[in-house]
Amino acid sequence: MGFKNNIISTQDEYITSPFGVRPNPLGAGTEFHNGLDIVSSRGLQKTQDVWSIAIADGVVTDKHNGELIGHGIDILHDGKVLSRQYHFKSASVLKVGDKVEKGDRIGILGTTGRSTGVHLHFGVKTGSTKWDNGDYVDPTPYLDGTKNIAISSDNVIPAKIDTPEREIREYLSSKGLSLYAAVGIMGNLYAESGLKANNLQNSYEKSLGFTDDSYTAAVDKGTYTNFIRDCAGYGLAQWTYWSRKEGLFNAAKAQDKSIGNLNMQLDYLWFELTTSYRGVLDELRKAKSVREASDIILTKFEKPADQSEAVRVKRAGYAQSYYDNYLGWYAPEVPTMPEATLMPETPTGTITKGSKVTINANAKYYTGGTIPLWVLADVWYVSSISGDRAVLGKNVSGKNDIQSPINVKDLVYV
Ligand SMILES: [Zn+2]
């Protein structure tokens, strides 16, 4: 029938969730997973999109854009086997009635519908030419072994739209966070806001008379002035407490960005984690499991009213879903050490030339100048020390170099 050997396999693509009963990735208990979840590491990268392709010749019988499926498509092969592929980033390029040949591009991998991360759901039914009347079967035999999947390495194109998921993951990876730590944060952010940076807490949309968009615009324009004190959760982490909202507001002003800007919010999140929540970050870095990392963020950073076991399990489920997608290729960026620091680190915590340090939240430059938020939020290498003056050189990613003296007492050895 032409199913086999029609798909190019590479080590970059793999099945993250098989057919059959599995733990519910989005909550408690178990569920029947009626297909395969397939991830392409390149499809999770910011710069690349990956096409899902037809597994065999056939004709398009249905096209979807639903709450659970997101964007997807059904194809009838050989008049008797139906395949369904979904969670596409946008509508399939095909329409009902289109004829396809094996390997044809049908949709771009995405995370629409009930999904926490970019992947393809691939299901197969037999026994009927109508999807609703057919029976689910394990799709694996319709691929060639475990490596041949419905994604082709020939089908990578430059990405046009960044998903928040990619932005957030890359941001956290650039901070050198472990996979446990990164997914612990991401699962909680997904629970809080669905990763939507301009998300206004639903219960306040009615009472304040705003949508996510109109609230954000009113705060940006200054026509709504109660952002800090209105007790409405907002943003990726659904910041609610006035002092945290004030911090977010000031960060937006300092960066001259919208209050709903994703990258600004990530900078603020990181600022919180490296200053007032540094203890949480230290604990998070030591987490040995997805559940542990997720619980740390839930109970010590997000601190919602409901921290019951059910909530913990649900959030850890989101985190696990990211973990499953990223496992095997997630690599935190290794800090580039400036040449001057390629010496053994002083283990005592004494700050010397080459030490890796963070800056106290309320510190000023030695000259009295205000230290920008992004500098406070980063980790730096000391390039020289003279008396109580420490000159900070490059940051851990090696991308920035500030060369401004700061009093040694305002630095913390990390
Ligand atoms: Zn699936």
What is the 264 CA–ligand 1 centroid distance (Å)?
32
What is the 114 CA–ligand 1 centroid distance (Å)?
9
Confirm if 215 and 224 have CB atoms less than 8 A apart. Answer: yes
What is the 34 CA–ligand 1 centroid distance (Å)?
7
What is the 85 CA–ligand 1 centroid distance (Å)?
9
CA 139 to chain CA centroid, Å, is 28
Q: 209-219 pLDDT, tens per residue?
A: 999 999 999 99
What is the 16 CA–ligand 1 centroid distance (Å)?
9
First to last CA, the chain: 60
What is the 19 CA–ligand 1 centroid distance (Å)?
8
* Interacting residues of 377 by C-beta distance below 8 A, sequence separation 6+: 267, 270, 271, 274, 275
* Interacting residues of 327 by C-beta distance below 8 A, sequence separation 6+: 16, 179
What is the 230 CA–ligand 1 centroid distance (Å)?
39
Please report, in tens digits, the pLDDT of each residue of the chain (414 residues total): 333 333 333 445 667 778 888 777 666 777 788 998 888 766 666 667 788 888 888 999 999 998 889 999 999 998 989 999 999 988 888 989 999 888 788 888 888 888 888 888 999 999 999 999 999 998 877 775 433 344 444 555 555 556 788 889 889 988 889 999 999 999 999 999 999 999 999 999 999 999 999 999 999 999 999 999 999 999 999 999 999 999 999 999 999 999 999 999 999 999 999 999 999 999 999 999 999 999 999 999 999 999 999 999 999 999 998 998 887 667 776 544 443 333 333 334 578 888 888 888 778 888 787 787 778 878 888 888 888 888 888 888 777 777 778 888 888 877
What is the 190 CA–ligand 1 centroid distance (Å)?
18
Q: In which order are the strands placed within the sheet that holds 380-386?
A: 405-407, 389-395, 380-386, 356-359, 411-413
Q: Give me the amino acid identity at 192.
A: E
What is the 355 CA–ligand 1 centroid distance (Å)?
46
What is the 349 CA–ligand 1 centroid distance (Å)?
48
What is the 209 CA–ligand 1 centroid distance (Å)?
37
What is the 3 CA–ligand 1 centroid distance (Å)?
20
What is the 364 CA–ligand 1 centroid distance (Å)?
51
User: What is the Cα–Cα distance from 405 to 303, expressed in whole angstroms?
Assistant: 37
Taking the complete model, does pTM exceed 0.75, yes or no?
Answer: no
- The four Cα atoms 239, 327, 295, 283 give a dihedral, to 10 degrees, of -90
What is the 101 CA–ligand 1 centroid distance (Å)?
24
Give 86's strand partners.
72, 121
